[in-house]
């Protein structure tokens, strides 16, 4: 079945929590098309001469929701803790505008690089969907590769929690590989899953070094949900058109790297059951690339990438 969710006060939220009531309940195999606002809840484009803070915004129904504007949540019937939610990303259609800011406010990245004081740099982008380019007010043009910065579910903890740090159940992953045609796999910790998405990015580099991408609304994001009870995941995993990805999340970047490697060795055990784990470890050093997903969210992200054709075995 096909469903549609528009961003309204009743269908948006700015925190993760197992007790936030779902805006929609669907069956496994159903497809939901979302429209999202930008992460800052803007109802109109941010334009020159009108700072982002003065742009008309959607007012959250809960004043404590100060995080990313997310559309949802969507509950999936039959989802139980211990299962895995399979999210097939069918289509992503960007809006016509976006923004990127850097420096001028307290953040570890800004402070370490000397950009925590002085004026915040603010770039406003016009997004060309036909040519998939974005151009800012200075004439800088970049190629676009849109994805959702936030895709995820609450964990088992009681209460409501920030959308900022990513968790094993997903959230603010900021993984630029989660484009249309990719399938994301997330461990489920609460009944129904309670999935939301938002934080549209028109483009972002690995790392998201200045803490923002081109932040933009999404006109249309189509995803299909399925449940998997045959996977045992400690962290998120994804399948792109040509590779497997395993993600590691931790406050320490080195530990996040180890978690991504461990996830990849688990994946290789499933995909290549005849290869012992120690041999897979050696092969991973040859065939697997380690990439910094993001260093912007307190909890750091690393993803391991294994191309499908990187390893072959004798039949």
pTM for this entry: 0.97
Dihedral sign of CA atoms 270, 274, 275, 278 in order: positive
Same domain, 154 and 249: no
Report the CATH number that the domain containing residue 246 is assigned in CATH. Answer: 3.10.28.20
Helices 277-287 and 253-271, interaxial angle, to 10°? Answer: 110
pLDDT the model gives residue 315: 63
248 contact partners, CB below 8 Å, separation of at least 6: 235, 255, 256, 257, 258, 259, 260, 261, 262, 263, 301, 302, 303, 304
Establish if 46 belongs to a structural domain: yes
Asked if 84 and 226 count as a contact pair (C-beta separation under 8 A), the reply is no
What are the pLDDT digits (tens) for 263-303? 999 999 999 999 999 999 999 999 999 999 999 999 999 99
Per the structure block, which two tokens stand in for 72? 């949802």
Same domain, 49 and 90: yes
> How far from 306 is each of 35, 58, 217, 219, 311, CA to CA, in Å?
32, 41, 31, 32, 9
- Total domain count, the chain: 2
Between β-strands 97-102 and 121-128, what pairing exists: parallel, antiparallel or unpaired? Answer: antiparallel
Establish if 237 belongs to a structural domain: no
194 contact partners, CB below 8 Å, separation of at least 6: 18, 20, 22, 72, 73, 74, 75, 153, 154
204 contact partners, CB below 8 Å, separation of at least 6: 147, 149, 174, 176, 213, 214
SS3 4: strand
> CA 223, CA 28: separation in Å to the nearest integer?
12
Same domain, 205 and 134: yes
Establish if 235 belongs to a structural domain: no
Asked if 13 and 62 count as a contact pair (C-beta separation under 8 A), the reply is yes
Same domain, 78 and 221: yes
Mean pLDDT, consecutive 10-residue stretches, the chain (315 aa), reads: 97 97 98 98 89 87 96 98 98 97 90 88 96 98 98 96 98 98 98 98 98 98 98 97 98 98 98 97 98 97 97 83
Same domain, 111 and 196: yes
Establish if 233 belongs to a structural domain: no
State which of 172, 205, 228 marks the end of a domain: 228
Report the CATH number that the domain containing residue 55 is assigned in CATH. Answer: 2.60.120.580
pLDDT the model gives residue 17: 97
Same domain, 145 and 258: no
Establish if 234 belongs to a structural domain: no
Establish if 157 belongs to a structural domain: yes
What are the pLDDT digits (tens) for 105-126? 889 999 889 998 888 899 999 9
Establish if 161 belongs to a structural domain: yes
pLDDT the model gives residue 159: 94
Asked if 298 and 250 count as a contact pair (C-beta separation under 8 A), the reply is no
Same domain, 99 and 123: yes
Same domain, 158 and 27: yes
**SS3 track for 246-265:** EEEEECCHHHHHHHHHHHHH
Between β-strands 31-36 and 16-17, what pairing exists: parallel, antiparallel or unpaired? Answer: unpaired
> CA 207, CA 297: separation in Å to the nearest integer?
10
Burial-class residue 5 by CB neighbours within 10 Å (0-12, 13-18, 19+). buried
Same domain, 43 and 142: yes
What are the pLDDT digits (tens) for 182-212? 999 999 999 999 999 999 999 999 999 999 9
State which of 228, 263, 291 marks the end of a domain: 228
Residues making up the chain, counted from first to last = 315
Establish if 196 belongs to a structural domain: yes
pLDDT the model gives residue 102: 93
pLDDT the model gives residue 309: 93
Same domain, 7 and 126: yes
The reply to whether omega before 18 is within 30° of 0 (cis) is no
Domain carrying residue 169: 2-228
Same domain, 264 and 290: yes
Same domain, 119 and 258: no
Per the structure block, which two tokens stand in for 122? 């603010």
> CA 16, CA 161: separation in Å to the nearest integer?
5
């Amino acid at each position: 079945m096909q469903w549609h969710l528009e961003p309204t006060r009743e269908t948006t939220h700015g925190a993760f929590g197992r007790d936030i009531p779902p805006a929609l309940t669907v069956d496994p195999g159903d497809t939901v098309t979302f429209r999202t606002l930008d992460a800052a809840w803007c109802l109109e484009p941010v334009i020159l001469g009108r700072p982002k803070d003065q742009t008309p915004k959607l007012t959250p129904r809960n004043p404590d929701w100060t995080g990313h504007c997310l559309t949802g949540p969507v509950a999936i019937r039959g989802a139980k803790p211990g299962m895995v939610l399979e999210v097939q990303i069918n289509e992503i259609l960007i809006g016509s505008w976006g923004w990127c800011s850097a420096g001028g406010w307290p953040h570890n990245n800004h402070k370490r690089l000397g950009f925590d004081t002085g004026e915040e740099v603010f770039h406003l982008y016009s997004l060309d969907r036909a040519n998939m380019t974005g151009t800012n007010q200075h004439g800088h043009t970049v190629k676009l590769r849109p994805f959702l910065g936030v895709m995820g579910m609450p964990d088992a903890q009681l209460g409501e929690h920030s959308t900022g740090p990513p968790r094993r159940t997903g959230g603010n992953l900021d993984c630029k590989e989660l484009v249309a045609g990719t399938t994301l796999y997330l461990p489920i910790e609460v009944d129904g899953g309670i999935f939301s998405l938002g934080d549209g990015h028109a483009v972002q580099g690995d790392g998201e070094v200045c803490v923002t991408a081109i932040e933009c609304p999404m006109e249309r994001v189509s995803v299909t949900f399925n449940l998997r009870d045959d996977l045992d995941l400690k962290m998120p995993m994804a399948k792109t058109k040509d590779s497997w990805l395993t993600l590691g999340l931790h406050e320490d970047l080195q530990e996040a790297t180890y978690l991504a490697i461990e996830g990849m060795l688990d994946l290789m055990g499933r995909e290549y059951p005849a290869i012992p784990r120690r041999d897979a470890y050696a092969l991973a050093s040859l065939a697997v690339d380690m990439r910094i997903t993001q260093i912007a969210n307190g909890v750091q992200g690393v993803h391991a990438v294994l191309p499908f054709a990187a390893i072959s075995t004798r039949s």
